[in-house]
Structure 1
Amino acid sequence: MTRLPLEELAGWHEDPETGNIHHRSGRFFTVEGLDVRRPGWAVEAWTQPIINQPEAGILGILLKRVGGVPHLLMQAKNEPGNVDGPQLSPTVQATRSNYTGVHRGRQVPYLDFFREPRGRVLADVRQSEQGAWFYRKRNRNMVVEVGEEVAAAEGFRWLPLRRVRELLSVDDLVNMDARTVLACLPLRDGAVGGDEFGAMLARSRDPRADAAHGVHEILSWLSGVRSTVDIQARPLPLNRLRRWHRSAGRISHESGRFFDVVGVRVEAHGREVNRWTQPMIEPVGTGLVAFLVRPIRGVLHALVHARVEPGYTDVVELAPTVQCTPGNYDHLPAPARPPLLAQVLNAPPERIRFDTVLSEEGGRFYHARNRYLVVETDEDPLPGHPAFRWLALHQLDALLRHSYYLNVQARSLNACLHSLAGALDRPVSGGVR
């Protein structure tokens, strides 16, 4: 991968009237502008570049049982935005433009198992992606269990589910697309293992376990937030953004914060095409994504945040307790900074249950990384706050059977929480309590 000025991207064009960047095929994605207004908030209005990719892709993992133990067919896939080479990826990770052959390249391996599912469908749900960088982007998250023998092609390997979950603790190894599918997989830890926290976590996945709030209360709360939040997001020509400038072959904010839009040239072995160019978003700084967790009546709960992002399909999704890039808030007044950021950053080491830096989607974002944390606490730091609720872990699992409830960062953390139980896996049944 080499850097390339935006003006030199082969096959990509800048609209002479809007400045929007689009592919000559009219497919894949465009880089456009967005005008966002939130009256009454500390930052009431801003403009920004955003990726508009209206088509839904497929993120799919094949599962088979070997001696009763679930194994996943994973791919070692190198994306242009990856920090350090290939990462563990789903069996299929493809946009609609890719799997319908717009690039005129090779076909996507194993795609037929998901387009017309061959086997037992364990998960099939549309989920969003980053609402701050994508405009209404969604992918079909799927897990299909096969009984037939399926050979692992070059670059693929069958791995035990437990091993894949263990690898979540390795920096930049399991990619974002694999994490979101793992989060939607309806398998929970069965045998209790690990330390006391891991045992409590495993028990808290049981759909029969208690919960601080019932299903109707949770859904009514979220519906109320979605119905009353005041946010307006409308497309804006890329060349009319305020405080963003195009120079030296990239688009940057005048403050040097947030992110840049950059160009890259890619050469990759084993992909549908061997070389291409494209725009990418390059964040400034490493982000922080954290759940505060605590036991309530013996059941582990996570503190979720009803978060507004301009690119969400349904305005608000449930996010981690803290989700931000700390450096982006240094210049803002205290009311505009994320609640509980200081508490998470200053957590005693013995209360940190998970701490790993993981990469975000390497196909559209260049070196986008977040520090993922799970921090245990004894008390509710925001009692009665209208934008936060404590959800039992089995409720997170149940909500993931439906679209647009948990955002992609919360789904990643949910997958990380699964990795902490340290036990074998078995199917679950039941719904949100």
Structure 2
Amino acid sequence: MPSESLLSWLEGRRGLCDMTVQEIPWQHSGEWRYREGALQHKSGGFFSIVGVEATAGGRPTLRQPLINQPEVGILGFLLQHRGGEPHLLIQAKPEPGNIGLSQAAPSVQATRSNYKRLHHGKPTAFLQYFTGDPAATVRADSLQSEQGTRFLGKYNRNMTVELPAALELDLDDAVYRWAPVREVCALLVSDFQINTDARSVLASSDWSALAGGDAPFSRCRGQGGFGEALLRSYGAGPAAEQASDGEILQRLEQLRAAHPFAVATVPLDDQVDWLEGRQPRLLGPAGSFDVRQVAVSSSEREVHSWDQPIVAQEREGTAVLLAREFGGVLHLLFRGRAEIGFREGFQYGPALQDAGGAPSPVPELDAEERLLEAIHRRATPVLSNLHSDEGGRFYRSVARYSIALLDPADELPVSPSLSWMTLAQIARLVKRQGVFSNEARSLISMLLAYL
């Protein structure tokens, strides 16, 4: 379990957090305007709320608002060996939509607008180590997607950068803290401790670098149970695989070819009640979310007050990975999922997912989800935790992330959209762009509690 000192530090930061969040009519905003069919910041930077329509076979299948933030941000952890053990530099970052306001975040979590200081606020600390400082060694660097049900084609750089052990940083101890990797990873199976961006960076990192001098998952050797099953799966070779890496990637390409859909931005003019002030919130499809305007103040952020649109989801979401042994080797099941905001159309997501009721742009594939739900009811829960989505864009948006173990005797559906993967395969493929969704990476990160 995480040390009390790390947990008490995070709790202490929450107790001292002075952030306030108040909903306001968007027409009262001093910083946002409706123009060119979208809700935009007056600077033209940061992000905008746009209308998006998906069409397949020449007919519309889905229309909804999305966050349009084409600039690529940096999400990165600094890694350093301290006292012979790998540590990560944790930031207690307050965000208006976080459960508890402050959660553990990467060392750097910054949009391009922020680190270019479009807000005229404080500079981003430690940014230089992610932009070419010769003292830093890059251990992982990949473009990874954000939620495709909420963002339009959004990617961020996910980075892990190692610093020499002798390098001392000038830290604001109220905001930053070095923590052993093993303690950070233990928090991945605690509710509302590690934010979305940190989970994504950890999942797509070099797990060997995180483990230090030990092989990943080797501490589970001889302990039996799920941890030792992960160790065997991480060490499994091609002979144990249900499909090769190439076949797994080819299935995604085949899904994209078999179920193409086009996406285009459209004006938000159809939301007449919102535009004319009778409805304070911009409504998403099928009641899955709404967009509201909030005024925020905090002495801990680069600027002390601002207002912004934020996406709110009332219903608790779910994301489930199913696990099963084949020939004594644990595999995890991912499903190729279509989301309106994916540049590629499809990525591997959880076996089961409910993003607050968000509909799919390819509804003909929904029947497969219902079949997997029936199988899931027979599974044995292994891990289950509540996490909230990134609090800078989502307001108290919560999902239950679960991993459940199937009996090897269970009959399973065979489908072009389903792929069983060993942990060794996941560790390789998660570093690639456009393979795993944000929700899938959060589930993968939970496995690192056994690292």
- 1:53 equivalent in alignment to 2:72: no
**Relative to total residues, which structure has the larger helix share, 1 or 2?**
2
Pair 1:260–1:250, CA change in 2 (3 A): same
* 2:385 corresponds to: 356
Q: How far apart in 2 are the matches of 1:172 and 1:344? A: 28
Gaps in structure 1 of 5+ consecutive residues: 424-433
**Separation in 2 of the partners of 1:270 and 1:142?**
24
1:411: which partner in 2?
Answer: 441
- Could you tell me which of 320, 323, 343 is aligned with 1:293? 323
- CA distance in 2: counterparts of 1:71 and 1:171, whole angstroms: 22
Which stretch shifts more, 243-252 or 210-219? Answer: 243-252
Tell me the distance in 1 between the aligned counterparts of 2:187 and 2:113: 30
Work out the CA distance in 2 between the residues paired with 1:295 and 1:204. 9
Q: What's 2:81 paired with? A: 65
Contact 2:274 2:280 (C-alpha < 8 Å) held by counterparts = no
Given candidates 378, 391, 394, the residue that maps to 2:407 is 378
Report the counterpart of residue 292 of structure 2 in structure 1: 262
Structure 1 residue aligned with 2:281: 250
Task: Report the counterpart of residue 40 of structure 2 in structure 1.
Answer: 22
1:226-284 deviations in whole A, cap 9, x for unaligned?
A: 223221211110113699886332112585x2111100011112211111100011113
1:95 maps to 2:128 = no
Q: Which residue of 2 aligns with 1:191?
A: 219
Partner SS for 1:247: coil
Instruction: Please say if 1:150 is aligned against 2:166.
Output: no
Partner Cα separation in structure 1 for residue 226 and residue 285 of structure 2: 46
Q: Does the 8 A contact of 2:313 with 2:356 survive in 1?
A: no
Alignment pair present for 1:7 and 2:38 = no
Secondary structure of 1:81's match? coil
Deviations 1:160-212 (A, max 9, x none): 11111111122111000000000012122223255422111122122646311
CA distance in 2, matches of 1:244, 1:202: 53
Maintained 8 Å contact 1:33/1:241: no
How big is each residue's C-alpha offset from its partner over 1:335-354, in whole Å with a ceiling of 9 and x where there is no partner? 55833463376356xx1111
AA paired with 2:279? A
Matching of residue 82 in structure 1 with residue 103 in structure 2? no
| 1:202 paired to 2:231 | yes
Whether the aligned pair in 2 keeps the contact of 1:81 and 1:363 (CA below 8 Å) is yes
Cα distance between partner residues in 2 of 1:11 and 1:382: 52
CA drift of 1:52 comes to 0.5
Amino acid at match of 2:171: A
Q: In structure 2, give the amino acid aligned to 1:124.
A: D
Question: How far does the alpha carbon of each residue in 1:134-177 deviate from its partner, in whole angstroms, 9 at most, with x for none?
Answer: 00000000000111223432311111111111111221110000
The TM-score, its normalising length taken from structure 2, stands at 0.86
Q: Contact between 2:285 and 2:358, CA under 8 Å: does it hold in 1?
A: no
1:338 corresponds to which residue?
A: 369
Q: Is the 8 A contact 2:91 2:104 kept in 1?
A: yes
Shift in Å at residue 412 of structure 1?
0.6
Partner Cα distance (1:272, 1:98) in 2: 8
Q: What code does the residue aligned with 2:349 have? A: A
Return the TM-score normalized by structure 1.
0.89
d(CA) in 2 for partners of 1:395 and 1:371? Answer: 25
Q: State the alpha-carbon separation in 2 of the partners of residues 9 and 344 from structure 1.
A: 48
Deviates more, 1:280-289 or 1:226-235: 226-235
Distance of aligned partners of 1:244 and 1:36 in 2 relative to their CA distance in 1, 3 Å threshold? farther
- RMSD, aligned CA: 2.4
**Letter of the aligned partner of 1:387 in structure 2?**
S
Matches for 1:121-200 after TM superposition, within 5 Å: 121-147=138-164, 148-153=167-172, 154-187=174-207, 188-193=216-221, 194-200=223-229
Measured in 2, the distance between the counterparts of 1:395 and 1:179 equals 19
Number of aligned positions between the proteins: 412
Deviation at 1:407, TM superposition (A): 0.7
Q: Matched residues in 1 for 2:162 and 2:45: separation?
A: 31
Change (3 A) 1:243 1:254: farther
Does residue 1:119 correspond to 2:136, yes or no? yes
Identity percentage of aligned residues = 36
Aligned-pair CA distance for 1:381: 5.0
Aligned to 1:280: 310
Q: Structure 2, unaligned stretches of length 5 or more?
A: 1-20, 208-215
C-alpha separation between the residues in 1 aligned to 2:92 and 2:30?
27
CA–CA distance in 2 between the matches of 1:334 and 1:306? Answer: 10
Residue 389 of structure 2 aligns with an amino acid whose one-letter code is E
SS at 1:191's partner residue? helix
Quote how far apart the aligned CAs of 1:333 are.
11
Do the aligned partners of 2:321 and 2:350 also contact (CA within 8 Å) in 1? yes
Q: Which runs of 4+ in 1 moved over 6 A?
A: 242-246
The question of whether the paired residues in 2 share the 8 Å contact of 1:244 and 1:254 is answered with: no
